[in-house]
Structure 1
Amino acid sequence: MNAQKKSIIIFMGPPGAGKGSIAQLCVDRLGWKQVSLGNLCRLRAAENSEECKQIAFFIKSGKLVPDDLILSTVRSWLEEYAHTFTVLILDGFPRTLVQAEAFQKMLQTVDQLASIELKLIVLEIPDEKVTQRLMSRLMCSNKSCGATYSSLERTLQPEIEGVCDRCGSALVVRTDDTLEAIAERLRIYHEHAERMIAFYQAQGVALHKINVDRSLENIFDDIKQKLEV
């Protein structure tokens, strides 16, 4: 990958695929920047504006936040932070064909991103493994941190039970990690994923499929090999 050219790498995968953990490993070892749509939305949901209250409602119900709210959130972040990265991982955005098409147009209106190289990584894992992962997931209660842990997987457990390794805040279970909400999120993901992939292939975007039902080290090595970094 040309280190002098700005790149955006879209991480596409179902909830619980480990997008955040994989992205953090790339940040730590490769010096990339990462932004999670989930974290951006949760930060905005904690604010008091009417728009932010709407975001909070959709998050708690386990449904997709409407496109206009998502695009507004992403555009605001890009306009403020585009100068801070050479390679950016987008975790959880775009999630629909409408978002993907709007994002392509958005890139042309943000001066620093006008000539970016876009890549797509599709993280693949069986639905039953996703459900198991999410039912055991722990999140840092500090919204500006957003670290993720597992109460079952030994390699993803915190060093101190109930405490975030990164910032020392308490770990909590997400309110939308219920069986019903997980099933709905998986249904929504699969409904949109096929059309999203077809769109990016038609756009000539480089696409790489990664099996994420294995260790983080193996996943990371596969990503490096396929992206030639």
Structure 2
Amino acid sequence: MIRVVFLGPPGAGKGTQAVRIAEKYNVPHISTGDILRAAVKEGTELGKIAKEYMDKGELVPDEIIIGIIKDRLSQEDVKENGFILDGFPRTLPQAEALDKMLEELGMPLDKVIYLNVDDEEIVKRLLARGRADDTEDVIRNRLKVYREQTSPLIDYYTKKGLLVEINGVGDIDEITKKIEENLGLNG
């Protein structure tokens, strides 16, 4: 069983690495970004609210995200195999809400993998992705918001003894291997 959070700026490779680990070890990959993009595409109430924030490069409010995550963590596949959270938590209140949820569910967190990538590399990667919402101004605003709101999580999880920092630049297979080693997986 794996219970891990992937942290890092947008474009650091969290999604890529989370999917690789999830598929290899049959663990549910829970991406708030994917959940939110699907809701926007489907035009759900949540999607309409989320789109307003996402279009400005701002974070979707905590209560919406926390509700989504709580529902997902209560599902059977998570109870059996654990989870890989990608894109949550992003703020200290979300991290505290996650701690409370996991305590109630009897599923303590194993590790927090922090993929560290500098801003210029992020801008280059995200512009290359070619998404409509990835203009340089929006990307730089997302990085500013990330640094302000998510960076405190690095200290929070370091103090809990859960944070593992991994350089997110380089060969994708090598980065995966470092993550597996830090999670105690035999690759």
> Above 0.5 in TM-score?
yes
Match for 1:120 among 106, 112, 130?
A: 112
Match for 1:216 among 153, 157, 172?
A: 172
2:108 maps to amino acid: I
Give the match's secondary structure for 1:108.
helix
- Structure 1 counterpart of 2:152: 195
Count of equivalent residues: 185
- Structure 1 counterpart of 2:143: 186
- Structure 2 counterpart of 1:38: 33
Do 1:120 and 1:205's aligned partners in 2 also have CA atoms closer than 8 Å? no
Give the superposed CA RMSD.
1.9
Larger relative helix fraction: 2
Question: Shift of the alpha carbon at 1:192?
Answer: 2.4
Query: Is there any run of 5+ residues in structure 1 with no aligned partner, and where?
Result: 138-172
% same residue:
35
TM-score by length of 1: 0.74
1:218 maps to amino acid: E
Separation (CA, whole Å) in 1 of partners of 2:31 and 2:152: 22
Question: Shift of the alpha carbon at 1:29?
Answer: 2.4
Match for 1:102 among 71, 92, 97?
A: 97
Separation (CA, whole Å) in 2 of partners of 1:77 and 1:51: 15
Question: Shift of the alpha carbon at 1:82?
Answer: 4.8
Do 2:28 and 2:78's aligned partners in 1 also have CA atoms closer than 8 Å? no
Give the match's secondary structure for 1:136.
helix
Do 1:33 and 1:85's aligned partners in 2 also have CA atoms closer than 8 Å? no
Give the match's secondary structure for 1:198.
helix
1:87 maps to amino acid: G
- Structure 1 counterpart of 2:121: 129
1:177 aligns with 2:169: no
Do 2:102 and 2:109's aligned partners in 1 also have CA atoms closer than 8 Å? no
